[in-house]
Chains A and B, each alone.
Chain A
Amino acid sequence: MSGAPGEAGAAAHLREPWSELETGPAAAFARQRDGATFGIWIFLASEVLFFAALFLIYTAYRIANPEAFAAAGRATNIVYGTLNTAILLTSSLTMAMAAQGAEKGLFRRLTLGCLAATAALGLAFLVVKGFEYREDIEKHLVPGAHFALRQAPAQIFFGFYWLVTVVHAIHLGIGIGLVTRLLVKGWRDPDVLTENPQVEVTALYWHLVDLVWVFLYPMLYLPGRAG
């Protein structure tokens, strides 16, 4: 296995332009890792504004149409929604374990197992979502001429619902792709994950997608259900 921390990773993952830094390879590699993490944090800040704009729209319309939103919220399927919340939260746990394992270069099989579990849980979320979509369509919850609910603004709720869940699913799909990529790489060469900055980058992205769902769950499934 590796000697001093950073050396093994530096040998395997040090890249331009970081490799040209006037420090030893281990320090340069530490900087490269910091750079990768920093970069993804900036990108996540951008994503936060992306979703914040959507949440703002939701908030504005919900304040304007409280009753219609409560009625629409009651029409969603809370069983699927809750199940999916549990699935995603578990996937964050496995993702975090994989990231920790990879960083230390320990428990390689466990790391790979956790990555596989993360990707599988992501897929499970999409499958459940698929069933939910089918039911939504059957219950005429697609905005349009045959919309099931009486109140007009309930259509806005469901317009938002479809848009935001699809956008979230696309994000999740990208996440599954990234995790699977790490899994395949790690499968072929068990050393490749050790200290690899891509693991932490992927993990941070995964957690954000998860966190967005944590906001979406009460927004979409809980209105009108209290009391």
Chain B
Amino acid sequence: MSAPVAASPTGLADRDELDLGLPPSYLADGHGVGSWLLTTDHKRIAILYAVTITLFFFLGGAAATLVRLELFTPEADIVRADTYNKLFTLHGVVMVWFFLIPSIPNTLGNFLLPLMIGARDVAFPKLNLVSWYLNVGGGLLAVAALLAGGVDTGWTFYVPYSTVFSNGWVSLTVLGVFTTGFSSIATGVNFIATIHMLRAPGLSWFRLPLFVWAMYTTSLMFVLATPVLAVTLLLVFAERSFGLPIFDPARGGDPVLFQHLFWFYSHPAVYIMILPAMGVISELITCFARRRIFGYTFMVYALVAIAVIGFFTWGHHMFTSGMSSYAALVFSFLSFIVAVPSAIKVFNWTGTLYRGQVGFESPMLYALGFVGLFTLGGLTGLFLASIPVDVHVQDTYFVVAHFHYIMVGASVSAYFGGLHFWWPKITGRMYPETWARFAAILMFFGFNLTFFPQFIAGYLGMPRRYHVYPPEFQVWNVLSSSGAAVLAVAYLMPLGYLTWSLLFGERARNNPWDASGLEWRTSSPPPRDNFFGAPRVQGGPYSYHPEGVAPIHDQPRIPAQGSLT
């Protein structure tokens, strides 16, 4: 396949070919370690984040691999109970706080937010860099705890086990998570101020791409939920390290209070993990169906509604911890309510596809996978929101399957979809599309093979957090562990071909997917100052063909770019 000729002279990413006196791309603008580690360029900070979260993803993945390996047979084969506890704790802590929460907001969000609103950078560029250092600092503390001997409390750090009984390095880990929390808060403050203050002329609130709305609502949760986690962990730290009685029941404390505070953060945190994914999917589906988003305003209000109601459902994690039946009823009801805006989003994505010219480029495969897996994860969430079912499946693999459908099936798919979609813009290179499609499909099947059996095992009563289990569950665990092997391959493949593309990939044009967003109206990769001149916005987002209009068949459809040849 021959390289498509760039549409405009500025589209040439290779500046040696034709010297137009254009500014260098952000990647070429400064070399050396210092130019990266001290950068205040939002695009470079996004890359810094991408590197660190990739490391953490594979660290957390390694722990999951050992867990799945251990669960292949009912007996204890490779690790003892204690090591097993440390493995799943490591896995949970790393995956949640050092991979998934920073994933889309701090990589794609950092990179794209200013581009999408036509700004030169985020509102507080130095704070942005500080947030990365806080994230890395927290990560190093957590890794130090791991090297020193690990933690066995589970990612939830429930008291009084974590404060009184556990022998692990709880304080160090908690301090690490505490530190990284301030990185989230810094990002949240920065993004909110950016969106409020730095939109290009003409870019009114209801012209914002849904990805920007998703970043906005996520940032609100960062700012309002994370401090509560910080306090909660600080109290655990104080109780454990200085003996201050706060939660210790032996001295009159109330462990359930800890759970309330923990989940007051950690339920919003699941929306911190899914709202950005929803933003990505809205960009992907519109582009590859060549259609305007169905019901834009509903999509916006759905994001806002999720962000608001999401603050009032935390109690569904505590149905079995002892709460009044009235409280349980209210939390159950609110948990059902919060599913409504999520369902609206699924319907609207489907509505967007209807009569679209759907293409199956790799980002779209991830996006379609997202919709399916998110639906399944969401529906099983409704099971868990109904108290009688929850009492039955609480602390079983049913719960593990449920939250992995949301966090891995949906969010991680969206992350990969977004990464592929914006890869040409970020790196200026095309990746091999065939490989990418293969990886996307493999990820979908690998994921389902890993986690669907866990629904069944959990429903039949297999508890979580044990390294041994009754033999009748083995068939489900063998399926699940085999799926995990497939999944591991599917996660490693992009690491290979994306890296390959950095060196050998075809040069990307400015807008290889013919997408409508402002972020494509600059060179690939963009210059340090993002745009050549100051952008002005004249219309709403997604100027693909509108609802109710038959497809225009000469709508430019670009064939998949890039090849191995």
Contacts from A to B (Cβ < 8 Å)? 16-18, 20-22, 31, 34-35, 38-39, 42-43, 45-47, 49-50, 52-54, 56-57, 60-61, 64-65, 68, 143-144, 152-153, 155-156, 159-160, 162-163, 167
Contact = CB atoms under 8 A, between A and B. Distances in A.
A156 B189 contact: no
B539 interface: no
B227 A152 contact: no
Interface string B401-435: 00000000000000000000000000000000000
A46 B122 contact: no
A105 to B, nearest CB: 24
B271 to A, nearest CB: 16
B230 interface: yes
B192 interface: yes
Secondary structure of the A contact surface, majority rule: helix
Most chain A C-beta atoms within 10 Å of own C-beta, residue among B227, B239, B253, B257:
B227
Given A20-B529, A162-B238, A163-B235, 17 more contacts: A17-B114, A17-B122, A17-B125, A18-B198, A22-B201, A34-B197, A35-B197, A38-B196, A39-B192, A53-B261, A56-B261, A57-B246, A60-B254, A143-B245, A156-B245, A162-B242, A163-B238
B30 to A, nearest CB: 15
B388 interface: no
A47 B124 CA distance: 19
B252 interface: yes
B196 to A, nearest CB: 6
B368 to A, nearest CB: 36
A43 B227 CA distance: 10
Contacts of B114: 17
Contact of A159 (B224, B234, B245): B245
B522 to A, nearest CB: 14
B217 interface: no
A50 B228 contact: yes
Contact of B534 (A20, A42, A50, A54): A20
Contacts of A17: 114, 119-123, 125, 198
A156 B252 contact: yes
B189 A46 contact: yes
Nearest to A49: B227
Contacts of A56: 261
A155 B227 contact: no
B537 interface: no
A72 to B, nearest CB: 12
Given A57-B257, A167-B234, A50 B120 contact: no
Most chain A C-beta atoms within 10 Å of own C-beta, residue among B198, B252, B253:
B252
Contact of B244 (A50, A61, A162): A162
Contacts of B110: none
Interface in B22-48: 40
Given A20-B120, A159-B245, A61 B254 contact: yes
Given A17-B120, A20-B120, A43-B185, A53 B193 contact: no
Contacts of B4: none
B286 interface: no
Contacts of A22: 201, 534
B226 interface: yes
Contact of A46 (B185, B201, B244, B252): B185
Contacts of B245: 143, 155-156, 159
A152 B196 CA distance: 50
B206 to A, nearest CB: 21
Contacts of A21: 198
Contacts of B232: 53
A217 to B, nearest CB: 20
B246 A160 contact: yes
B9 interface: no
16 contacts: A17-B114, A20-B529, A34-B197, A35-B197, A45-B223, A46-B185, A49-B225, A49-B228, A50-B230, A53-B227, A61-B254, A64-B254, A156-B252, A162-B242, A163-B235, A163-B238
A39 B244 contact: no
Contacts of A152: 251-252
Interface string B195-206: 011100100000
A43 B242 CA distance: 29
A143 B244 contact: yes
Closest 6 CB pairs of A and B: A50-B227, A159-B244, A17-B120, A17-B121, A53-B231, A20-B120
Contacts of B197: 31, 34-35, 38
A97 B189 CA distance: 27
A87 to B, nearest CB: 26
Given A17-B125, A159-B244, A46 B234 contact: no
A67 to B, nearest CB: 12
B226 A46 contact: yes
B243 interface: yes
B501 interface: no
B190 interface: yes
B193 A35 contact: yes
Nearest to B531: A20
B315 interface: no
B251 A155 contact: yes
B378 interface: no
A54 B234 CA distance: 10
A163 B242 CA distance: 10
B138 interface: no
B494 interface: no
A162 B251 CA distance: 16
A159 B190 contact: no
B188 interface: yes
Contacts of B40: 16
Nearest to A38: B193
Contacts of B230: 50
Contact of B243 (A20, A54, A143): A143
A51 B444 CA distance: 43
Contact of B192 (A31, A42, A159, A167): A42
Interface in B218-271: 223-228, 230-232, 234-235, 238-239, 242-246, 251-254, 257, 261, 264
Nearest to A145: B243
Contact of A39 (B124, B227, B231, B253): B124
Contacts of A156: 245-246, 251-253
A57 B201 CA distance: 46
B153 to A, nearest CB: 20
Nearest to B235: A163
Nearest to A57: B257
Most chain B C-beta atoms within 10 Å of own C-beta, residue among A22, A31, A46, A65:
A46
